[in-house]
Amino acid sequence: MRALAIMAVLAAVSTPLQAQRGLHEVRNERSGFWASGGLAAGSSALTCNGCPDTRASGPSIYVRFGGTLTRQLLLGVELAGWGITDQGVEQTLGAGAVDLFWYPGAGAFYMKIGVGGMTYDRDNPNLGVSTTTRETGGVGTFGAGYDFRIARSASIVPFVNFFVASHLTRSVDGTQVITNGDVLRDLLQIGVGITLH
């Protein structure tokens, strides 16, 4: 009789624990193709010898898609954009990268690293003649985020992304300008996205 009572207590305790574990696994389930997009507050800065230390802020977006390697590792392609127009001067920045996403312990928090390329354009019509400056180069990126599951295959994702490009090549109106090789430009994104798993 005592054994039956103990078994009943164990069954009563284990059932909700198993259900909770199952819910956790469903919430963190990842498989196959995935896609994500988001909006962010973006901030970009230029760093070089003799350059003013300024940072411009404007709206920013990202789009990602890829495949699932394991429950902890995702591989994908990321496209990010940023732009601002201030006093008639238009600035745009685009970056593309191949990213690896790591979910420690197969949980909801992730970190990412990636490599790719960046292009920055600045169009200044204020001198009577429009002057277009372009900078291009390789880019490295890292970031982090958290998947808040709102459905079995969808998550709301607050995130932070950072892209940094060094040794940029610069041209003005199509003519390459010689630099000291110390031109560095970055993009910081802080925002919220949605991911479909």
What is the per-residue pLDDT across 49-92, written as a single tens digit (0 to 9) for each?
Answer: 777 778 899 999 999 999 999 989 999 999 999 999 988 889 99
Residue 3's pLDDT band, with cuts at 50, 70 and 90, is very low
* Residue 13 pLDDT: 37
pLDDT at residue 27, rounded to an integer: 60
Residue 41 has pLDDT above 90, yes or no: yes
The residues, any chain, with a CB within 8 Å of residue 82's CB and separated by 6 or more, are 42, 44, 58, 59, 60, 92, 93, 94, 187, 189
Residue 15's pLDDT is what?
A: 40
Rounded CA-CA distance 23/1 in Å is 34
User: What does the pLDDT average to over 103-121?
Assistant: 95
Q: Are 90 and 123 in contact (CB under 8 A)?
A: yes
DSSP 49: T
Cβ neighbors of 95 (< 8 A, separation 6 or more) are 78, 79, 80, 81, 116, 117, 118, 119, 139, 141, 163, 165, 187
**pLDDT score for 29:** 76
Contact 34, 74 (CB under 8 A): yes
Mean pLDDT of 123-140: 86
Mean pLDDT value of segment 23-49: 83
C-alpha Rg value of the chain to the nearest Å: 23
Q: Is the pLDDT of residue 8 over 80?
A: no
What is residue 4's predicted lDDT score, i.e. its pLDDT? 38
Q: Which pLDDT score is estimated for 170?
A: 86
Lowest mean pLDDT among 2-6, 28-32, 129-133, 183-187: 2-6
Give the residue-averaged pLDDT of 135-152: 95
Q: Which one has a higher pLDDT value, 124 or 164?
A: 164
Burial 85-111 (b: 16+ CB within 10 A, else e): eeeeeebbbebbbebebebeeeebebe
Among the residue ranges 22-26, 139-143, 188-192, the one predicted with the least confidence is 22-26
Q: pLDDT at position 11, please?
A: 41
User: Is residue 56 within 8 Å of residue 91, measured between CB atoms?
Assistant: yes
pLDDT score recorded for residue 127: 67
